[in-house]
Amino acid sequence: MATSKTPAVVGLSLAGFHNPEEVRVYQDTARVQFGAEPRFELSYTLDERFLQKLGFLQGRVLSVHAPCPGAEFFPNLGSRDAGVRRAGVEAVRRSAGTAARFGAAGVVLHPGYTLDTHVPVDPLRRLAALDALSDEEQRQVWFTEGPICRRGYCLTPSYRAHFQAAVEGLVEAAAACAAEEVDLAVENLNPRITYLFQLPAELVELADAIPSIFLCIDIGHLWISSLVHGFDFSTGLADMLATGRVRSAHIHDNASRLGADPVLSDDHALVGEGSVPVRDALDMLTRAQVPAIVVETTTHPLESMRRVLALLREPPAGIRPET
C-alpha cells in the first residue's frame, strides 16, 4: 500500500470570513465533503466580538495569527522606539491568551518592519505610512506597486538595524507566549519595502539566535521573495525546513512573475490559479513532517481546501502508487 503524504493536520485561515455564521456553515459542509472535523487558524481580522461567538471552535483551532483579537496596529518588534515595541509584545501576549483560550498550539507573527512607528492593520492606512518613507528607503523601491524593494535591500544598514531590534523583541514575545504555554512561530514576509524577514537566511539566523522560536513558512510570500531577491524557491524552503523549527505553513497562490511584463502581487489566490510551485512545496513540507498546513486563501474556502487536500493525496512527482 502506498504511504499517505497527508500531514497530521490541515486547517483553514478565517481571514476571508465576515461573520461567525459563515464559519459554522463552512464547518458543517466541510465535515460532509472531507469526512473529517475541520481545523482553523484564527486571523488578525477577527475582533473580540467575533471571537466571543466562536466558542463552537474550542479545541479545533491550530493557531492564532497576531494580533488576535484584531487591533489597530500590527506588532512592530523592529521598531527602535521602546513604546512601540512594548505595544507589539503586548499584542503578542493578548494573542497568546486567545490561543490558550481556544486550545491552539501557537501564535503566528509578522515580526516587524523597518519603521520606528506603529504600523496600521488597515491596508490603506498602511500604504499611506509607506508614502512617508525616508529618502534612503525611497531609493530602495524597485517596483512601485506594493511598493516592492530592490535586491540588496535586506543588506542595508537601516534594514539590519531594525532586524536586530526585532530579534531582541522576539525574545520577549516568545517568553510572553511561553507563559501561556503556546509556541511563537515567526512568518517570512514578502519583499514589500519596510517588511523584515524576507529572506530564508534571516529565518535560519533567527532560529539559531533564539532556541524558543519556531517558524511558519508562507509559500506565497516565499515565491515573491525568490523572484525579487534571486534565490531558488526550493532551496530557500529546504534551508528553513532544515532548522527543524517549522511548525506550520501558509498555503496560497499568486500570479507573480518576472519578464517583460512583471507582476508582483500577494494575491492569496486559489491554488492552481497562479505561478507558485504549490505541489512541490507541499511535497517538501510533508516529507519534513511539518505538523500543520493552513490554507490561507481569501475566497472560496471549500474549493481552496479541496484543491490542497487533492494535492496532498497525490503521490510525489516521479513515484507511482502501488496497485
pLDDT band at 271 (very low <50, low <70, confident <90, very high): very high
Mean pLDDT calculated for residue range 100-127: 93
* CA nearest neighbour of 67 among 49, 39, 38, 87: 87
- Let me know: does 69 contact 94? Beta carbons within 8 Å: yes
CATH number for region 9-313: 3.20.20.150
**This model's pTM is above 0.85:** yes
- Let me know: does 139 contact 133? Beta carbons within 8 Å: no
Q: Give the Cα separation of 232 and 44 in Å (integer).
A: 30
pLDDT band at 267 (very low <50, low <70, confident <90, very high): very high
Residue 317's pLDDT is 56
Q: Is the predicted pLDDT of residue 6 greater than 60, yes or no? A: no
Spell 148-184 as b/e; 16+ CB within 10 A means b. bbbeebbebeebeebbebbbebbebbbebbeebebbb
Residue 1's pLDDT is 30
Residue 2's pLDDT is 36
Q: Is the predicted pLDDT of residue 322 greater than 70, yes or no? A: no
**Region of residue 146 (left: phi > 0; alpha: psi -120 to 50; beta: else):** left
Q: Where are the domains of the chain?
A: 9-313
Mean pLDDT calculated for residue range 220-228: 98
Residue 8's pLDDT is 64
Mean pLDDT calculated for residue range 46-70: 98
Torsional sign, CA 225, 229, 234, 237? negative
Least confident of 56-65, 116-125, 289-298: 116-125
Task: Give 169-207 pLDDT, tens digit per residue.
Answer: 999 999 999 999 999 999 999 999 999 999 999 999 999
Q: Is the predicted pLDDT of residue 314 greater than 90, yes or no? A: no
Task: Give 256-266 pLDDT, tens digit per residue.
Answer: 999 989 999 99
